[in-house]
Structure formats: C-alpha cells, structure tokens
Amino acid sequence: MRLQEIKRIMKENRKFLNMLEEYDRTGHLPTEKIRRSFTIKRSTLQKLKRLSKDTCKPMSSVIDSLAEGS
C-alpha cells in the first residue's frame, strides 16, 4: 500500500480509531448507553419532543446528535 492510501483509510476511519482510544483510556466503549436522570424546563421538553417527532428519531438520539454537534 502506498502512504497516501494508508492516510486516506486512516482519515476515513478516524471515528473508529477515536472509539478504540477511548476504550483503551477508560475501559468503556463510547457507544454504551447510560441511564441518567436530570431536569429540564417544560418548554425545552416540548421542543425536544417536537424535534424527535419531526426527525423520526428517539429523544435520546436527538440529544446525542446535538451533544456531538452533528
């Protein structure tokens, strides 16, 4: 393999490399789900429910994508 091809493959798979680095550091995969309880304003919950319905995604997935910035 040429160096350019190796760099391209590494760049394309950066997300998985970061996941494995996180596992090495903490012993937990970042894809594991954790149940937490927190409070939010009623208006925020309404917006979250609306966004969840509009995107056909569960609320937890909406929160995950917002937190990741994507």
Examine the domain organization and report whether 47 and 70 are in the same domain. Answer: yes
Radius of gyration of the chain (CA): 17
pLDDT digits (tens, 9 = 90+) for 13-65: 888 888 888 889 998 887 778 888 989 999 999 999 999 999 999 999 999 88
Q: What is the pLDDT of residue 70?
A: 56
Rounded CA separation 52/48 (Å): 6
Question: Measuring CA to CA, how many Å separate 55 from each of 16, 24, 58?
Answer: 25, 34, 9
Give the separation between CA 22 and CA 29, rounded to whole angstroms: 7
* Higher pLDDT, residue 46 or 2: 46
The number of distinct structural domains making up the chain is 2
For residues 70 and 46, membership in a common domain is answered with: yes
For residues 45 and 17, state if they share a domain. no
pLDDT score at 44: 93
Task: For residue 6, give its domain range.
Answer: 1-32
